[in-house]
Amino acid sequence: MRKLKMGMIGGGKNAFIGAIHRIAANMDGLVELHCGAFSSNPEISKESGKELFLRDEKCYNSYEEMIVTESLLPQDQRMDFVTIVTPNFAHFKPALMALDHGFHVLIDKPMTLTLDEAKQLQQKVKETGLVLCLTHTYSGYPMVKQARKMVADGTLGKIRKVMVEYNQGWLTSLSENDGNKQAVWRTDPSKSGIAGCMGDIGTHAAQLAEYISGLKITKLCADINIVVEGRKLDDDGNVLLKFDNGANGILVATQIATGEENALKIKIYGEKAGLEWHQMEPNSLIIKWPDAPTQIYRAGENYLSNIAKSNTRTPSGHPEGYLEAFANIYRNFALTLSSKLDGKEPTEAMLDFPTVDDGVRGMAFIENVIASGKSDQKWFDFKI
């Protein structure tokens, strides 16, 4: 038993998501930052590594240098996995190279720039037997896991309708022209891909709908919009959904909802009951009955399922937030890798994190939604 050694690509100075990853990775003491290529600028990469107290030789000028150099070291001296926290366009090549050199991969979503690239990573994972984890953070919340368990146990009965919305307001103006670095790359087709809002947050909404419901999207009908004049990619959209059990759904994703912060919420209705969860009030899961008062399940309570309790870090009444959910994904990924290194089979609980298959479905969602939005055809089959 030992800590896993993490190599980080991206996430250097002034990159907010790199710090989020490092906090999440460190929360359970299972992972240590071993090395990094923190920027495409070698000087910034070196400076970033020094600020993180890494030795000079572990602060690499490029991800290529890091992957090759680390792969030549003895097993007990090299990194165990690579975390990729770059913009979308810089996901595929380092991920593929890491897998080719025998390293497991943890990567931000969307997984790649295109569906074809996603399929290539999926094939490489199958060939190598390595693990790829995708950071769909919201599936790490304990009450999301409680919701998933209740659906799987039949508490809601057969699912009839899924309603998920992700409302933000940070792109209500053309902030990419005002020096907002996050807006600059997220609205640039060369860096973000063919989708803006739908790739950035629509994929989170779609993944959450499938994760909790246990269903798969089979058809969709999309209305995709560029609301702010001068923007190159979508900043708003509405999608009708059909699921593989016959249920229907609605997905709304927008970044021009003035005044909204990070308002991800989901409602799922079955024959017996309905449920509701809000990301900005993550400790509560609401269960609605046709013939009984509404119930509110709370994080940290003994009546919750084992899977929810095992992903809860604080006593009841303490917020289980974004960082903790992120850390749950890192922990399960780390426990899976440690089990594999020990020659053991990971448990079902350990394997509870988004994988390369979720990444492929995410890219398929993007490409199908954008194609539907550009077409006059009402329904599109969800093609992968």
Which tens digits make up the pLDDT trace of 109-148? 999 999 999 999 999 999 999 999 999 999 999 999 999 9
Distance CA 303, CA 372 (A): 43
Query: What was the pLDDT predicted at 348?
Result: 94
Query: What was the pLDDT predicted at 56?
Result: 96
Query: What was the pLDDT predicted at 20?
Result: 97
Average pLDDT over residues 237-252: 98
Query: What was the pLDDT predicted at 137?
Result: 97
Average pLDDT over residues 177-200: 95
Going along the chain from its start, the domains and CATH numbers come out as: 4-138+327-355 (3.40.50.720), 140-314+362-374 (3.30.360.10)
| 358 confidence band (pLDDT: 50, 70, 90) | very high
| 266 confidence band (pLDDT: 50, 70, 90) | very high
| 278 confidence band (pLDDT: 50, 70, 90) | very high
Percent of the chain with pLDDT over 90: 98
Residue 347 DSSP code: P
Q: What is the rounded (10 degree) CA torsion for 306, 336, 20, 60?
A: 170
Q: Is the pLDDT at 15 greater than 90, yes or no?
A: no
Q: Is the pLDDT at 382 greater than 80, yes or no?
A: yes
Residues in Cβ contact with 376 at an 8 Å cutoff, skipping those fewer than 6 apart: none
Tokens of 363: 């890219």
Query: What was the pLDDT predicted at 352?
Result: 97
Average pLDDT over residues 234-250: 98
Average pLDDT over residues 77-84: 98
Query: What was the pLDDT predicted at 175?
Result: 95
pTM comes to 0.97
Average pLDDT over residues 375-383: 96
Give residue 37's identity as a one-letter amino acid code.
A
Average pLDDT over residues 248-261: 98
Query: What was the pLDDT predicted at 1?
Result: 75
Which tens digits make up the pLDDT trace of 89-104? 999 999 999 999 999 9
Separation in Å, CA 8 to CA 3, 34, 66, 106 = 15, 8, 9, 9
Q: Is the pLDDT at 332 greater than 90, yes or no?
A: yes
Q: DSSP states of 16-57 as a string?
A: HHHHHHHHHHHTTSSEEEEEEE--SSHHHHHHHHHHTT--GG
Average pLDDT over residues 254-268: 98
Query: What was the pLDDT predicted at 223?
Result: 98
DSSP element (H, E) containing 239: strand 236-243
Average pLDDT over residues 39-67: 97
Q: Chain-centre distance of CA 301, in angstroms?
A: 26
Q: Is the pLDDT at 64 greater than 80, yes or no?
A: yes
